[in-house]
Amino acid sequence: MNVLVIGNGGREHAILLALRKSKRVDKLYCMKGNAGTAQIAENVDVDYMNVSAVKKYVGEHPEIDYIVVAPDDPLAIGLVDELEAMGKRCFGPRKNAAIIEASKAFSKNLMKKYNIPTAESEIFSDYDKALQYIRAKGAPIVLKADGLALGKGVLVCEDLKQAEEGLKEIMLDKAFGAAGNVIVIEECLKGLKYTPGEEVSVLAFTDGKTIVPMITSCDHKRVYDGDKGPNTGGMGTFSPCPFWSEELEKEVYDKIMLPTMHAMNAEGRTFKGCLYFGLMRTDNGMKVVEYNSRFGDPETQVILPMLKTDLMDVFEAVTDERLADIKIEWEEGACVCVVLASGGYPLGYAKGKQITIGNTGEAVLVHAGTAVKDGKLVTSGGRVLGVVSKGKTIEDARKKAYKAVKGIHWEGMQYRTDIGEKYRKG
């Protein structure tokens, strides 16, 4: 089989690295890809948000048998629907199901209607009414722009002043564009402010009939050590989540995963693909913080290396709605990904800095914002590389990853030094 993966980042490189291990995959393509994907796939220089350009390319390449649409934005505009209409087999939800991530108002209403545990919230499209509500509720309080905002549309406000400023930014100044026409105002889940580590990402494969959780992972969203500084796309991950247990898995499966799959079916929006549950452990049990309609980045970088089953078999089982028939197996042990970012990220940063890579031991380098210019490897984005190591324990894996980091350099390179430390004391 020849497989095209759509997307440019570390997640897509990680998916390609897993597909490369498949016995059934011949040639890999990546649209547009980066310097890492170019080593194992043919990079295709087409803008994946330009639906007619994607369709033209796919139409001209009948040798492509299967297409994985990885990022949220092409899913939200219905790229899967368009490719399926051309007779292509795809991995990723259709537009009417991708809305579970693309509209937070949709997902909050869904959870309310189907009794799926989440933070209490109200939805507003009127600034004055939203302001009144915030003043009545008081801080801490969480503001979420309804639409997609590159992972930056959520403001956790510690005091009323911050909340009022945030509301103005989102609804009046349109800091996230049209994504802020509608706002979700949410209760700040208890405990988070003091223990930001109570979050876990559980990704699941689902074909609309069966839902199968993958191994758990934990992200580090803030840019600096100790969960300080602004939110980013994710500065590092580790797997598995140390506080995870069979009891929690059962609770999440029975009260969150299965009900979500059934709710989407009942709404006529069957979800097929990877459904990502961002969860928080609270005094009142596990609650949904967010849904994503896709693999997480950088969660995928620590999950897929642990997958023993052929990823292509899993993808096809989802497409053909026979996920119940296959067994998905995982390696024992742990995996850590340390993200190396450009200086200044998540705000302004320079591009085109030359990257030098020395001895990185057993670590795997997953490329995100990299390119080749005049024969040299250079930075081309905010998150540049993920340094991924496996180990017997998280501690073992993180030591190997940080040892490898020492061998990598460019001007302005920044990274967190505490990835995987969060739950060291349980």
Pairing status of strand 141-145 against strand 154-157: antiparallel
CB 268 to ligand GLY: min, Å: 26
The answer to whether 405 and 415 are in contact (CB under 8 A) is yes
With CB under 6 A as the contact rule, the residue among 12, 146, 219, 267 that binds ligand GLY is 219
| 151 contributes a contact to ligand GLY by CB under 6 A | yes
Contacts (CB under 6 A) with ligand AMP, residues 222-251: 231
Selected binder of ligand AMP within 13, 88, 220, 221 (CB under 6 A): 221
- Report the length, in residues, of the chain: 426
**Residue bearing tokens 């067994």:** 327
Q: For the chain, how long is the longest CA-to-CA vector?
A: 60
Q: At what angle do helices 160-167 and 127-137 cross, to 10 degrees?
A: 170
Q: Which residue is nearest to ligand GLY (CB)?
A: 296
Which of ligand GLY, ligand AMP, none has residue 189 at its interface (CB below 5 to 8 Å by kind)? ligand AMP
**Cα 12 to chain center, whole Å?**
11
Interface with ligand AMP in residues 254-283 (CB under 6 A): 278
- Per-residue buried b or exposed e for 263-287, using 16+ beta carbons within 10 Å of the residue's own CB: bbeebebbbbbbbbbbbbbeeeebb
Instruction: Tell me whether residue 22 or residue 301 sits nearer to ligand GLY (CB atom).
Output: 301
In 3D space, the residue among 133, 134, 221, 146 whose CA is nearest the CA of residue 176 turns out to be: 146
Neighbours of 225 (CB within 10 A): 15
- Binding partner of residue 220 among ligand AMP, ligand GLY, none, CB under 5 to 8 Å per kind? none
**Which letter, b or e, does each residue of 52-85 get, where b requires 16 or more Cβ atoms within 10 Å of its Cβ?**
eebbebbeeeeebebbbbbbbbbbbbbbbbbbbe
Instruction: Give, as ranges, the residues between 179 and 208 that touch ligand AMP (CB under 6 A).
Output: 186-189, 192, 199
Q: Residue 299: which of ligand AMP, ligand GLY, none does it interact with, CB under 5 to 8 A by kind?
A: ligand GLY
What is d(CA 200, CA 243) in angstroms, rounded to the nearest whole number?
A: 9
Site for ligand GLY in 282-301 (CB under 6 A): 292, 296-297, 299
Among 12, 101, 146, 290, binds ligand AMP (CB under 6 A): 290
The two beta strands, 211-213 and 42-44, are unpaired
Q: In the window 222-241, what residues touch ligand GLY (CB under 6 A)?
A: 234
Q: Would you say 22 or 300 has its CB closer to ligand GLY?
A: 300
Nearer to ligand GLY, 74 or 296 (CB): 296
292 binds, among ligand GLY, ligand AMP, none (CB under 5 to 8 A by kind): ligand GLY
Binds 335: which of ligand GLY, ligand AMP, none (CB < 5-8 Å by kind):
none
Helix ranges restricted to H, 296-349:
299-303, 311-319
Q: Which is nearer to ligand GLY, 186 or 219 (CB)?
A: 219
Among the listed residues 12, 82, 97, 95, the one whose alpha carbon sits nearest the alpha carbon of residue 50: 82
Which residues of the shown chain bind ligand AMP in the complex (CB under 6 A)?
119, 142, 151, 154, 156, 186-189, 192, 199, 221, 231, 278, 289-290
Which residues of the shown chain bind ligand GLY in the complex (CB under 6 A)?
151, 219, 234, 292, 296-297, 299
